[in-house]
Homo-oligomer: A and B are copies of this chain.
Amino acid sequence: MDRSQIELLLNEVQSGRTEVGEALERLRDLPFEDLGFAKLDHHRSLRTGMPEVIFSAGKTVPQVAQIFARMAQAGGNVLATRASEEAFAAVHAVEPRAKFHPIARAITLTQTPAVAGKGIIGVVCAGTSDLPVAEEAAVTARIMGNEVELIADVGVAGIHRLLAQKESLQSARVLIVCAGMEGALPTVVGGLVNAPVLAVPTSVGYGASFGGVAALLGMLNTCSPNVSVVNIDNGFGAASIASLINHL
C-alpha cells in the first residue's frame, strides 16, 4: 500500500519514466498518513470489527445522525456515546438497524463481527447511580468483541456483598471498576484480584464530592498496585483500554 506507492515511484525513477527532480517533489508532498498510521487505523476498523466512535456530547442531533450514517456506510461497526433519545430517533431514521442502550446512553450498529477478546471483562460498580457509566463501559467492551460480566451494587460500605462476588471478580481477565463518592471500590477490588483494574471515577455524589474529584483523588492514591485511572465518567475510555488488554 503506502510502501508500494513509494516502491512504484522508485520503479518509475529506475526506469527513467520519472525524473529525479519530479520524484523529489512528489516524495515531499506525500502526506504523512501515507507513511503509516491513519489509514492503517481505518483498515483495522474494517478488518477487526473495532467500531468507529462518535462522542455525541456537544454535537447537534442532526450532526450525530449524519456522522453515524456516513460511518455506517463505510461498512464497519459504529458506536455513539453520550447520546440522547432524540439523537437516537434521528439516527434510527437514517439507519434503522441502529440499537439504543438507554442506561448507557449509547447507540450501536454492528455490521462486522469483532475479533473476540481472550477472556471476560468484569465491569463492577458501587451503586445504581453509577450504572450509566458502567453500562457505557459494558456496551463499549461488547461491541469491541469482549464478553462482559456486570457486577452492580457492591459498595465498600457493605463489604460482604462484594466478597460474595469474589469468584466472579477473580475469573475476569481485566476489570473495570466504576465508583463515585469516596471512590474506594477499585482499591478493594484490586486487592482481591491479580488482574489489571481500570478505575473510573463517576460524578455521582454531592457536596464535597466536587463532581467526581473526591473519587478521582481516591483512585489516584490507591494502595493496590494493579489500579490505573481514567477521566471522570469515562466508561468508554476504560473499556477501550480493557479491550486492548483483553486482545493481547
Cα distance A119–B23 when bound, in Å?
30
Q: In the complex, what residues of B have CB within 8 A of residue A226's CB?
A: 240-241, 244
The answer to whether the Cβ of A196 comes within 8 Å of any Cβ in the partner chain is yes
The answer to whether the Cβ of A94 comes within 8 Å of any Cβ in the partner chain is no
Stretch of A32-40, A85-93, A105-113 at the chain-chain interface: A32-40
The answer to whether the Cβ of A209 comes within 8 Å of any Cβ in the partner chain is yes
The answer to whether the Cβ of A47 comes within 8 Å of any Cβ in the partner chain is no
Knowing A126-B223, A213-B217 touch, does A37 contact B160 (C-beta < 8 A)?
yes
The answer to whether the Cβ of A146 comes within 8 Å of any Cβ in the partner chain is no
Q: In the complex, what residues of B have CB within 8 A of residue A195's CB?
A: 244
The answer to whether A158 and B229 have CB atoms under 8 Å apart is no
Q: In the complex, what residues of B have CB within 8 A of residue A194's CB?
A: 44, 244
Q: Interface readout for A71-99 with B: 1 if CB under 8 Å, 0 if not?
A: 00000000000000000000000000000
The answer to whether A157 and B191 have CB atoms under 8 Å apart is yes
Knowing A207-B234, A229-B230, A241-B226 touch, does A188 contact B192 (C-beta < 8 A)?
no
For window 191-218 of chain A, which residues contact chain B by CB distance below 8 Å?
191-192, 194-196, 198, 201, 203-218
27 CB < 8 A contacts A-B: A10-B13, A11-B20, A32-B166, A37-B158, A58-B204, A156-B191, A156-B223, A157-B187, A157-B191, A173-B248, A182-B187, A183-B218, A183-B221, A196-B244, A196-B245, A205-B221, A206-B231, A207-B211, A207-B221, A207-B234, A208-B220, A210-B217, A213-B217, A215-B221, A220-B230, A228-B237, A248-B248
Q: Which residues of A contact B (CB under 8 A)?
A: 3, 6-7, 10-11, 13-14, 16, 20, 23-24, 27, 31-33, 35-38, 44, 53, 57-59, 118, 126-129, 155-161, 163-164, 166, 173, 180-184, 187-188, 190-192, 194-196, 198, 201, 203-234, 236-238, 240-241, 244-245, 248
